[in-house]
Structure 1
């Protein structure tokens, strides 16, 4: 049985024993373009340079023609069948650019604590893990690729990374003595480095309600590795009052449902219930379900089931809140059968930049100010319309009077320009006319700031 066949058999045994497992993703293969400075494998006739002060193991699968190669201080080349190196004149390949050397990137850049470098085996669609649980937990089985070379940094040495077992180079390590001997060997030193330690021997999680991951102590290093490409800072959440679940490095938008469980609770059965009965109705959500520590007031540390409902779209749809309320209703109806004693939920706020939400969540002063401004604009608009109507009628009235009498001489008005009533329409009416109009249904506005001399 080949190495790949043994790996598949080992993973099947993990599934049968309900043990979770994590797969290491990156490698140091020669043909992987991401391992080279130009993001491509060396051209024919290129100069190949490996970091002189590094140790590296490189798997070579194909034949390559190069002009020069600078080897590292220590390392190995593992040649696959038909692989090798041949000599070629420099600059032979016209697509090789200006002939710059091909630099192999730092093989020590891959850290055990980086969540991006692990993949969970058997993860169902719609499920995700919080950041601390993306790195191998103490009850997990760990597998390294059987058909690739790799190099793993074990961290700063704050505490040993402890897992259930390690599968590497076709061997399974379940005892610390065997693993320690491998790490001290030439093959082990080529693939694992750093002051950190790796330990095995933990039992598989035998509790149907789940087990705590156990990465709380190393979460600062997990978050540092995860956020390194972002300058060590979390991106801003796209919602107000964002939530940070236990084990997560940054805030997220959605909801968190906390379950207090009894002895009959089965975490795998509950995950299956979420996937089949609830999640299909909410396509924009991802769910993480795990057991986490909980510190209760005046009591020793306890545990609870954390259900994280994360919004995946750029603008929150509110589905996380609706699903959280649906889960609370489900617990109220079926909690006893599920082994759930109680449930509580928290929701994030409205999306950032949503005008309607901002108006609802704004302060009372802002709301009153906005309402006052709107009311003022409405009053001003009505005043303008009324003034225009009155001026029109006033002009017609004076026009009729000018037909009967001689036009009055123009006198420059005093005061300031009234934005509602123009100068021509703000003529002081004779007292008799004022009295007459006050007795009829029609009225006219007389502006006391403007006057015209009587004809």
Structure 2
């Protein structure tokens, strides 16, 4: 069985044991155009330059004719069947002209903590994950591509990255001793780098109500990586009183339903119920369902179920609020059978620039001209009513008579969501290869041999 077959078998086992898994997306393949400075692979007769002070593993699938090559400090070429390099005169390809050397981009630019670089296995249509949960959680299995080369930065080392298992280079690591030996090997050092530590051995989530992801400690680094292309700042709010769910880096428009639950609650069954029975009736919505730490838990349970309903259109239609109230009604009717003890809802405000406020003021002005003081009093009444409605976007339902109302949550201000369901890093697909058709060519730059030793 080849590497790809073993990877597929491992993913099937993950599904059978209800273990979640995350797939690493980017690679350091030679033929991937986004790995090169000119956004194209080196043309015939080009000079090829790798960063001199870096380490990298590069999969080569085709034959290439080059005039010169500057190798990095340490690395390897993984050659597919029929792949290799040949000598050619500079400028052999007339379309290349007198182009500058082809520079291989910094292979250290890919960070473990960047949510854009991971895909969740088996994600259903209409579902997304909050930003902290797009990066592997402590109970996840992690899979690196069997048909690509890669390099991963493990972060600043604030604490070990801990997951259930790691599948890489045809091996499954479930014990720290085995993983440590691999990371210290030449193959491991070419693929993982940085001061951070990687640890395995956590159990799969065995709680039917779900498990907390466990990435709260590293969320600042997750958000920094996610927002780096935006200059480190969230985009402007698209709605008034935008919400920030637990685990999300920026505010979003929509609604958040918070559930407390009993011992019979099953998060997978509830998620399926929402996907099949509720979400299809509302257009332009995405949903995330997960267990998160409970804010201001006090003597109550220290976790809760967070259901995030996000408006994905440029101007929200209010569907998130309607769906949230439908879920409240569903809990009121079926909460006991679902294992839900109580529910609370928070909603964002109207879309920015929808004209509703201007229309209200215009009506007041017309009434003022026609009715004088009486219209002024009416306008004050309308404004007071609007303020009351604005403060009424928080709802709560409980099966327990003594349950207290949900606390008012203050708006989070300036920022708005980076809501990236599909992600932004998607390398071109490549033909599947088996280990038997690949050979490795290692190189060590003698100029750096002493430093490496």
Residue 298 of structure 1: how far off its partner (Å)? 3.6
Residue 425 of structure 1: how far off its partner (Å)? 74
1:169-223 alpha-carbon deviations (Å, 9 max, x no partner): 0000001111011101110000000000000000000000000000000000000
Residue 100 of structure 1: how far off its partner (Å)? 1.0
Identify if the C-alpha distance between structure 1 residues 331 and 45 changes in structure 2 by more than 3 Å, giving closer, same or farther.
same
* 1:408–1:453 Cα contact (<8 Å) kept: no
Structure 1 distance, partners of 2:260, 2:111, is 35
SS of alignment partner, residue 89 of structure 2: coil
Identify if the C-alpha distance between structure 1 residues 408 and 436 changes in structure 2 by more than 3 Å, giving closer, same or farther.
farther
* 2:151–2:190 Cα contact (<8 Å) kept: yes
Output aligned runs, 1:231-242, within 5 Å: 231-242=231-242
SS of alignment partner, residue 442 of structure 2: coil
Q: How big is the alpha-carbon RMSD for the aligned residues of Structure 1 and Structure 2?
A: 31.6
Residue 97 of structure 1: how far off its partner (Å)? 3.9
Structure 1 distance, partners of 2:67, 2:404, is 110
TM-score normalised by structure 2 residue count = 0.80
Relative contact order: is structure 1 or structure 2 higher (C-alpha 8 Å, sep ≥ 6)? Answer: 2
SS of alignment partner, residue 42 of structure 1: coil
* Structure 2: runs of 5 or more not aligned: none
Residue 387 of structure 1: how far off its partner (Å)? 39
TM-score normalised by structure 1 residue count = 0.80
Structure 2 distance, partners of 1:213, 1:143, is 17
Identify if the C-alpha distance between structure 1 residues 390 and 444 changes in structure 2 by more than 3 Å, giving closer, same or farther.
farther
Identify if the C-alpha distance between structure 1 residues 330 and 367 changes in structure 2 by more than 3 Å, giving closer, same or farther.
farther
* 1:384–1:420 Cα contact (<8 Å) kept: no
Identify if the C-alpha distance between structure 1 residues 364 and 245 changes in structure 2 by more than 3 Å, giving closer, same or farther.
farther
* 1:426–1:447 Cα contact (<8 Å) kept: no
Residue 323 of structure 1: how far off its partner (Å)? 0.3
Structure 2 distance, partners of 1:50, 1:335, is 60
Identify if the C-alpha distance between structure 1 residues 300 and 30 changes in structure 2 by more than 3 Å, giving closer, same or farther.
same
Aligned counterpart, 1:92: 92
Residue 237 of structure 1: how far off its partner (Å)? 1.8
* 1:256–1:308 Cα contact (<8 Å) kept: yes
* 2:116–2:425 Cα contact (<8 Å) kept: no
Identify if the C-alpha distance between structure 1 residues 429 and 300 changes in structure 2 by more than 3 Å, giving closer, same or farther.
closer
Identify if the C-alpha distance between structure 1 residues 265 and 65 changes in structure 2 by more than 3 Å, giving closer, same or farther.
same
* 1:46–1:66 Cα contact (<8 Å) kept: yes
Structure 2 distance, partners of 1:280, 1:263, is 29
Aligned counterpart, 1:423: 421
* 1:59–1:149 Cα contact (<8 Å) kept: yes
Residue 233 of structure 1: how far off its partner (Å)? 0.3
Residue 390 of structure 1: how far off its partner (Å)? 48
* 2:110–2:153 Cα contact (<8 Å) kept: yes
Structure 2 distance, partners of 1:82, 1:440, is 9
* 1:242–1:348 Cα contact (<8 Å) kept: yes
Structure 2 distance, partners of 1:29, 1:438, is 18
Q: Does 1:50 align with 2:46?
A: no
Aligned counterpart, 1:37: 37
Residue 278 of structure 1: how far off its partner (Å)? 0.5
Identify if the C-alpha distance between structure 1 residues 399 and 331 changes in structure 2 by more than 3 Å, giving closer, same or farther.
closer
SS of alignment partner, residue 216 of structure 2: coil
Identify if the C-alpha distance between structure 1 residues 100 and 342 changes in structure 2 by more than 3 Å, giving closer, same or farther.
same
Residue 305 of structure 1: how far off its partner (Å)? 0.2
* 2:345–2:396 Cα contact (<8 Å) kept: no
SS of alignment partner, residue 417 of structure 2: coil
Structure 1 distance, partners of 2:44, 2:432, is 104
* 1:138–1:202 Cα contact (<8 Å) kept: yes
* 2:27–2:148 Cα contact (<8 Å) kept: yes
* 2:26–2:426 Cα contact (<8 Å) kept: no
